[in-house]
Amino acid sequence: MAKVALITGITGQDGAYLTEFLLNKGYEVHGIKRRTSLINTDRIDHLYQDPHESEIKLTLHYGDLTDSTNIIRIIQEVQPDEIYNLGAMSHVKVSFDSPEYTANVDGIGTLRILEAVRLLGLTQKTKVYQASTSELYGLVQEVPQSEKTPFYPRSPYAVAKLYGYWITVNYREAYQMYAVNGILFNHESPLRGETFVTRKITRAVARIALGLQEKVYLGNLDAKRDWGHAKDYVKAMWLMLQQDTPEDYVIATGITTPVRDFVRMAFMELGIEVDFEGKGINETAVVTHCTNTDYQIKKGTQVVAVDPRYFRPTEVDLLIGNPEKAQKQLGWTPEHDLPALVSDMVKSDIELFKRDQYLKKGGHNIMNYHE
């Protein structure tokens, strides 16, 4: 019998990679998607199966983490062996604008999943993976950050996720459930949401190189993140549910990089060298050299400027994870390093925006939004 997995947040970056990973392992996969006014399943459309076919391996259910009745009904129907709770309002900056909603989805949403499993009498059948985060560490207490590092959340998002973390530990201890936290550091990919900094940069680099955009406005260029590839990280989620005992794990690369250097690397991927000049909100990046004749970017062109609107009221300055426990106990090792990640993202965005370049040449208006 194939194992059955239920994924919340299946339409997101990690949901898409995890679905593909589990289908390849022979799982029957169910996902919860929200009702949206336009279809938003782009990331999993290549895995879609017409519900009228026989032998359906992927099924989508309408639902929302704010609605307990619907969570209970879906879990009862699906009777999953494994639940991956990836659904969340996942944008740190936006959580300052929607703190109550974020708490409801990211904090209480986790409780709703765990409590549904308990109410349905599935505590000994269903294993639960909770998408915890390096944002829990917040204000730096020690580096590198491990499973033993104290938490100090710095945003409504991180505070909501702190509740999710502890309620997962509590259900494990109180009801002997197999429930675990993956404390994942930032992980990116060509499927990353467009308003997270890495994807914002790779999209802008591609658009600037193709003549579709002049420059990109960013926030705090000093922030340092431990960036990995989402493809490697979804494997760790699965490994955490295949152990003899349920435990929490940090997943990270152990290398940290400032946003500024990510910008440099992304432009270099296209043979465009940039240098940063000025300080604080007056800092800019200008092109110093372009070795690629495909891109007509003049030396001295300003391609990055700082806009304080992207600063956060409280920032997480430095994240470096210590993945030793995951390496030893799960046998987890990432296959991609940062240069491979940057290359994957920039190449994918160049292909994506060549279509826009074609449309622009045909006289169509191409939107240039700043978010």
Q: Which of 29, 116, 218, 304 binds ligand GDR (CB under 6 A)?
A: 218
For the window 225-264, what string marks contact with ligand GDR as x by the rule CB under 6 A?
x---------------------------------x-----
For the window 154-193, what string marks contact with ligand GDR as x by the rule CB under 6 A?
-------------------------------xx-------
Render 45-114 in DSSP notation, one character per residue. GGG---TTSSS--EEEEE--TT-HHHHHHHHHHH--SEEEE--S---HHHHHHSHHHHIIIIIIHHHHHH
Closest among 73, 51, 76 to 63, alpha carbons compared: 73
Question: How far apart are the C-alpha atoms of 170 and 151, rounded to whole Å?
Answer: 17
Would you say 171 or 233 has its CB closer to ligand GDR? 233
Query: Residue 158 phi/psi, 5° resolution?
Result: -70, -35
Selected range binding ligand GDR among 28-36, 72-80, 212-220, 358-366, rule: CB under 6 A: 212-220
Residue 38 CB: number of other CB atoms within 10 A? Answer: 4
Which spans in 99-256 are helix H? 99-102, 109-119, 156-175, 197-209, 230-240
Question: How far apart are the C-alpha atoms of 45 and 48, rounded to whole Å?
Answer: 5
- Cβ 58 to ligand GDR, closest distance in Å? 24
For the window 7-36, what string marks contact with ligand GDR as x by the rule CB under 6 A?
------------------------------
Query: Is there a contact between 153 and 107 (Cβ–Cβ < 8 Å)?
Result: no
Question: How far apart are the C-alpha atoms of 28 and 5, rounded to whole Å?
Answer: 6
The verdict on 223 binding ligand GDR (CB under 6 A) reads yes
Q: Which of 28, 83, 87, 177 binds ligand NDP (CB under 6 A)?
A: 87
Query: Is there a contact between 137 and 145 (Cβ–Cβ < 8 Å)?
Result: yes
Q: Which of 135, 269, 344, 356 binds ligand GDR (CB under 6 A)?
A: 135
Closest CB to ligand GDR: residue number: 223
The verdict on 195 binding ligand GDR (CB under 6 A) reads yes
List residues near ligand GDR by CB under 6 A: 90, 92-93, 133-135, 185-186, 195-197, 200, 218-220, 223, 225, 259, 310, 312, 315-316
